Amino acid sequence: MVEDSDQFYCETCDREVAESEVIRTKTMGSLDPDKWQTFCCPECGNRLQTVFVGEE
Ligand SMILES: [Zn+2]
């Protein structure tokens, strides 16, 4: 299942960030890094959203 949105919003920078722009990092918790990634703002590094990528 793929979410419809490929845009994320950074409150710190007050801008939209395209999925192709985001920095992908491991999640902070104990989630499986092969299935979950945290998307971060390329400008400020702010965490935008934790995304399920297991189906990719
Ligand atoms: Zn930002």
Per DSSP, the residues of 1-56 read ---S--EEEETTTTEEEETTTPEEEE-SSS--TTTEEEEE-TTT--EEEEEE-TT-
Position 14 in a domain: yes
Position 41 in a domain: yes
Residue-averaged pLDDT of the chain: 89
Position 46 in a domain: yes
Our count of domains for the chain comes to 1
Rounded to an integer, the average pLDDT of 5-9 is: 86
CA of 46 to the centre of ligand 1 (A): 5
CA of 40 to the centre of ligand 1 (A): 8
The model's pTM is 0.78
CA of 41 to the centre of ligand 1 (A): 5
For residue 3, the model assigns a pLDDT of 54
pLDDT exceeds cutoff 90 at 56: no
CA of 33 to the centre of ligand 1 (A): 23
pLDDT exceeds cutoff 60 at 11: yes
Position 25 in a domain: yes
